[in-house]
Amino acid sequence: MTSIRQNKTLKKVLSRAFWLLLWQLAAGKVGKELILPSPFVVVRALFNLAVTGKFWINTAVTIVRVLTGYCLGVILAVLLAIMTCSSELLDALISPVIRIVRATPVASFIILALLWMGKDNVPILMSTLMVIPVVWENITAQYQATDVNLLEMAQAYKLSKWKKFRYIYVPSAFPGFLAGCMSAMGLAWKSGIAAEVLSQPKIAMGSNLYYSKLYLETPDLFAWTAVVVILSMCIERLIKYLLFRGVRNEDK
């Protein structure tokens, strides 16, 4: 087991080293920091950013915005899923709207939202809008796949609507909820940052990305991007850990 784990770790390290080396070689070949800075230059830029208070404030505000949008999206998706699963009429009303939201480019929503509300709230709304269809669709798909044998058993034993919901539908849809929450996190993060880039709130990682591009500070642009990627991965893992810890506690 240890040797398998060591092998996996070695593969991961080698893979990362390969891409870093390729990046370094490409940067050396281009030879212009403005177009493609080397990994070392980006790390230096990142370090220079990290020692400023502004960096941490911007990062914290963006995290709060994305997580707020994400949580709102998950809550609304669950409520909408319950509504669409419980009534054919509500399903006919709500499902097409959610499908349209899913198919609409996030940029269109951002531009529209900028007309309707303050730019500080646009990233929250975008994260929410991107989360809803993913979580909703995962829940409803699992709900529709509920074991018909269990439903027949519920009919035979005359289980109440509440018991059917609590003990059959909810546990059946729960894996879909988990999967939806996991994949929605990445989307919330990306759409939230994209909304910050376009709406440029005063304090935001996305605004800093935009200004780095505007003032041709390419190493800073790379450094901010690296922070976005690292944070996205960390938050995704944190969500995964929290959700699965919740499931394990439920199982005990």
Partner 1 sequence: MKISNLWFSYDNKTVFEDFFLETGEGITCLMGASGRGKTTLLKLVGGLLKPDKGTIDNGGKTVSFMFQEDRLLPWLTVRENILLVTDKARETDELLQELEVDGNLKISELSGGMARRVALARCLLYDRDMLLMDEPFKGMDSKLIEKVAQIIIRQNKTALITTHSLEEAKALDAEVVTL
90-129 residues in contact with partner 1 (CB under 8 A) are none
Positions of E strands within the chain: none
Q: Smallest gap, in angstroms, from Cβ of residue 159 to partner 1?
A: 7
- 150 touches partner 1 by CB under 8 A: yes
**Residue 94: CB atoms within 10 Å:** 16
Q: Smallest gap, in angstroms, from Cβ of residue 89 to partner 1?
A: 26
Q: Burial level of 77, CB count in 10 A (0-12/13-18/19+)?
A: buried
Alpha helices in the chain (DSSP H): 2-30, 39-50, 53-86, 88-103, 106-116, 122-144, 148-156, 161-164, 170-199, 205-214, 218-251
Stretch 171-200: interaction string toward partner 1, x if CB under 8 A: x-----------------------------
**Residue 141: CB atoms within 10 Å:** 14
Q: Smallest gap, in angstroms, from Cβ of residue 167 to partner 1?
A: 6
- 24 touches partner 1 by CB under 8 A: no
- 153 touches partner 1 by CB under 8 A: yes
Candidate segments 45-53, 117-125, 161-169, 235-243, binder of partner 1 by CB under 8 A: 161-169
Largest CA distance in the chain: 75
Where does this chain bind partner 1 (CB under 8 A)?
149-150, 152-153, 155-157, 159, 163, 167-168, 171, 251
